[in-house]
Amino acid sequence: MTTRSKAAARRALVLDILNHGALALVALLFLFPFFWMVSNAVRSNAEVLAIPVRLLPSVFEWDNFAKAWTEQPFGRFFFNSFVIATSVTAITVVVSCLSGYAFARLRFPGRDLLLMGYLGTLMVPGIMLIIPLYLIINSLGMVNTFQGVILPVAFGTFGSFLLRQFFLSIPNELEEAARVDGASRLRILVSIIVPLSMPAIGLLSLFTFIAQWNNFLWPLIVMTGAENATLPVGLTLFQTQQSTAWNYIMAGATLSMLPGIILAILLQKLIYNSIALNAGLGGR
Amino acid sequence: MTIAQETAASTASAATTRRRSRLDAREGRTALFFLLPSLIGVTLFLVVPIVASLVLSFTNWKLLGKPQFLGFANYVRLFTADPQFWTILRNTLFFTAEYLVLNLVISVGLAVWISSLKMGQRWFRVIFFLPTFTPTIAVAIVWMLIFAPDGLFDTMMRALSWTVPGVLTDQTLAMQAVVVVSLWAGVGYNTVLFNAALDMVPASYLEAARIDGATAWDRFWRIRLPLISPTLFFGTVMTAITSLQVFDQIYVMTRGGPGSATATLGYAVYQKGFQAFQMGYASSIAWVMFALIMALTAMQFWLQRKWVHYDN
């Protein structure tokens, strides 16, 4: 009896190891395009195009990253992307905190109707808005400017809704005391509500930053000059050139992926919890 | 109660009401102050563009010159005269259908697989999630290199003695390449979403079923899948909405080609609007897309009664 249960336990353990190993293999295959990108970034362009293909470069040219950063304008594109993504995030957070607080704590006529309207706009596909948005930006003289890219995407309604939900979960008593002491609503928001809402604000910042960092179509349309291109737009500019420097493009692609990869690994818990919240909401 | 007392009481309550309404008015003003930045932004960059897009779709505006009101002429032209439109519509629906089905099958499979592990669940989740946090443009460029003539994919296929003439320039294979890239880029979000939902299924349910002699297969189809069906529904709707708008991958990899084999509605809006500068016509294509999104979402809400189980 004991030998049989021991054998069964050993069989279960072997199956378990095989199960882990098989998924690890799938995961490695899944990661292959990342490997291919870096492997092609650190070889000479001739070797990128060489036939037959080589899995690894004959000489590792690690300085291709430095060259892509300075000789090719990827450093400039990186800067543009960073300024745009950071500005949109900052505006979104401030605007959403203010409006989220009004929706969560203040009474005013038509509040629920307005909130429903805000939710309704989430259904509208972004691609539908680009033509009129371009015409607005054009009439404001903001084509090929940073504010032209930033402003139209900085007032999404999702943030207001997300922060409203979070603010509602904060006990009212905390601010009652401050109000008795004569603190203004703005003061309460800044010194009581915001510090308590850092998980939600962090989440909003993260997803806004990544969405803007990865955004392509809108900056493609607004930024007509190459010097103002964001990283994704910059990556496509080289496609049309006669002799494409594929190694530098792969280095640029790696640079463009780096912030997202680092954030996804560092903040995996926050990301998982927020997606789990969606799973739970979908489950009701 | 004497008359004097009554008068006093009513005056007092009137004063309270007045004070109350004065407070309400003040709160309303505060609310307006808090909402103002958002309201201005939403009006200027969301409400006005939605209305403008609809109005534009009834005109022939070409950026320069005076627009003319055409009534439904753009829409009539789309469905009856434009030789490309039906191809574009078919491509979009084909992409959405194939991508949606494969995305759900793969992400559910991976989610179940990950949840069966005793160790390292979170690392597998991160690995499959990584591409969703990276620019689609960069992803598509890397895959373009993989699919390049005599590139990695060609070499691998030749090793299996199956010669494919340039995936991205082939009428049927080009769309398949777009689907593959989109799956790699997008399957991670749903994997994490469904994995999180599976984590919420009470272990006691599965244990009870096991004791009653249910096989792993039965436990999956009869217990876990029905219990996560609301999340599956949510994932399906969101994935369908985004896949109908597909643009980035196509812009990089095929520019809608070869011919118009991979031209989709999203690509057509860009092409007609910002290459041909037919702003009115492009707007009508955008509204067809919006109508399609709403129709598909409505259809899914209607279908959910057949397969989604809500626990209440």
Q: Write the CATH number for A278.
A: 1.10.3720.10
For residues B63-78, average pLDDT: 84
Predicted local distance difference test score (pLDDT) of residue A284: 41
CB B155 within 8 A of CB A52: yes
Give the pLDDT band (50/70/90) at residue B11: low
The Cα diameter of chain B in Å comes to: 107
CB B65 within 8 A of CB B278: no
Q: Does A62 reside within a domain?
A: no
Lowest mean pLDDT, pick from A162-171, A233-242, B25-34, B231-240? A233-242
- Chain B residues whose beta carbon lies within 8 Å of the beta carbon of residue A23: 113-114, 117, 124
Better-predicted residue by pLDDT, A59 or B3: A59
Contact between chains at A155 and B152 (C-beta distance less than 8 A): no
Total domains in chain A come to: 1
The string of pLDDT tens digits covering residues B260-299 is 999 999 999 999 999 988 899 999 999 999 999 999 888 8
Better-predicted residue by pLDDT, A246 or B161: A246
The string of pLDDT tens digits covering residues A33-83 is 999 999 999 998 888 888 888 889 988 999 999 988 888 889 999 999 999
Q: How far apart are CA A282 and CA A277, in angstroms?
A: 8
Nearest residue in chain B measured CA to CA from A222: B274
- Chain A residues whose beta carbon lies within 8 Å of the beta carbon of residue B126: 264-265, 268
Q: Does A273 reside within a domain?
A: yes
CB interface of A with B, residues 73-92, below 8 Å: none
Q: Does A140 reside within a domain?
A: yes
The answer to whether residue B124 neighbours chain A at the CB level (below 8 Å) is yes
Neighbours of B167 (CB within 10 A): 24
Predicted local distance difference test score (pLDDT) of residue B1: 45
Predicted local distance difference test score (pLDDT) of residue B3: 54
How is residue B49 written in tokens? Answer: 């563009």
Predicted local distance difference test score (pLDDT) of residue B230: 87
- Report whether pLDDT(A231) > 60: yes
In chain B, DSSP assigns E strands to: none
Give the pLDDT band (50/70/90) at residue B7: low
Q: Can you give the pTM of this predicted structure?
A: 0.90
Q: What is the dihedral of CA B217, B222, B223, B227, to 10 degrees?
A: 130
Q: Which of B141, B270, B297 sits opposite A253 (nearest CB)?
A: B141
Give the pLDDT band (50/70/90) at residue A100: very high
- Structural domain span for residue A171: 68-282
CB interface of A with B, residues 182-241, below 8 Å: 185, 189, 210, 213-214, 216-217, 221, 231-233, 235-236, 239
For chain A, give the percent of residues with pLDDT over 70. 96
The answer to whether residue A281 neighbours chain B at the CB level (below 8 Å) is yes
Predicted local distance difference test score (pLDDT) of residue B10: 56
Q: How far apart are CA B303 and CA B295, in angstroms?
A: 12
Interface mutation vs chain B, best among A34, A103, A127, A281, most B CBs within 10 Å: A127
Nearest residue in chain A measured CA to CA from B47: A121
How is residue B155 written in tokens? Answer: 């070499």
Give the pLDDT band (50/70/90) at residue A182: confident
The residue with tokens 């745009």 is A84
Q: How far apart are CA B153 and CA B164, in angstroms?
A: 9
How is residue B103 written in tokens? Answer: 């995305």
- Report whether pLDDT(B24) > 60: yes
Sort A235 into a burial class: Cβ within 10 Å, 0-12 / 13-18 / 19+. buried
Predicted local distance difference test score (pLDDT) of residue B286: 94
Give the pLDDT band (50/70/90) at residue B221: confident
Q: Does A125 reside within a domain?
A: yes
Residue A120 phi/psi, 5-degree rounding, is -60, -35
DSSP class per residue in B44-71? IIIIHHHHHHHHHTTB--BSBS---B-T
The answer to whether residue B205 neighbours chain A at the CB level (below 8 Å) is no
Contact between chains at A127 and B247 (C-beta distance less than 8 A): yes
The string of pLDDT tens digits covering residues A143-152 is 999 999 999 9
Lowest mean pLDDT, pick from A197-201, B49-53, B112-116, B156-160? B156-160
The answer to whether residue B252 neighbours chain A at the CB level (below 8 Å) is yes
Give the Cα-Cα-Cα angle A123, A126, B77 (nearest 5 degrees): 95
- Chain B residues whose beta carbon lies within 8 Å of the beta carbon of residue A252: 138
Measure in Å the smallest separation between the Cα of B106 and chain A Cα atoms: 12
Give the pLDDT band (50/70/90) at residue A213: very high
- Chain B residues whose beta carbon lies within 8 Å of the beta carbon of residue A106: 27-28, 30-31, 34
Q: How far apart are CA B134 and CA A259, in angstroms?
A: 8
Give the pLDDT band (50/70/90) at residue B253: very high
- Chain B residues whose beta carbon lies within 8 Å of the beta carbon of residue A210: 133
For residues B137-159, average pLDDT: 90
Radius of gyration, alpha carbons of chain A: 25
Give the pLDDT band (50/70/90) at residue A283: very low
The answer to whether residue B217 neighbours chain A at the CB level (below 8 Å) is no
Predicted local distance difference test score (pLDDT) of residue B218: 86
Element (H, E) at A99: helix A74-105
- Chain A residues whose beta carbon lies within 8 Å of the beta carbon of residue B134: 214, 256-257, 260-261
Q: Which of B27, B56, B135 sits opposite A216 (nearest CB)?
A: B135
CB A234 within 8 A of CB B107: no
Neighbours of B102 (CB within 10 A): 15
Give the pLDDT band (50/70/90) at residue A282: low
The answer to whether residue A246 neighbours chain B at the CB level (below 8 Å) is yes
Q: Does A20 reside within a domain?
A: no
Sort A70 into a burial class: Cβ within 10 Å, 0-12 / 13-18 / 19+. exposed
Predicted local distance difference test score (pLDDT) of residue A203: 92
The answer to whether residue B202 neighbours chain A at the CB level (below 8 Å) is no
CB interface of A with B, residues 16-45, below 8 Å: 16, 19-20, 23, 27, 30-31, 33-34, 36-37, 40
For residues A228-243, average pLDDT: 83
Q: Does A157 reside within a domain?
A: yes
Contact between chains at B56 and A260 (C-beta distance less than 8 A): no
The answer to whether residue B212 neighbours chain A at the CB level (below 8 Å) is no
Q: Which of A152, A185, A253 sits opposite B45 (nearest CB)?
A: A152
Predicted local distance difference test score (pLDDT) of residue A83: 97
Q: Does A12 reside within a domain?
A: no
Q: Does A18 reside within a domain?
A: no
Q: How far apart are CA A84 and CA A89, in angstroms?
A: 9
- Cis peptide, bond prior to residue B165, ω within 30 of zero: no
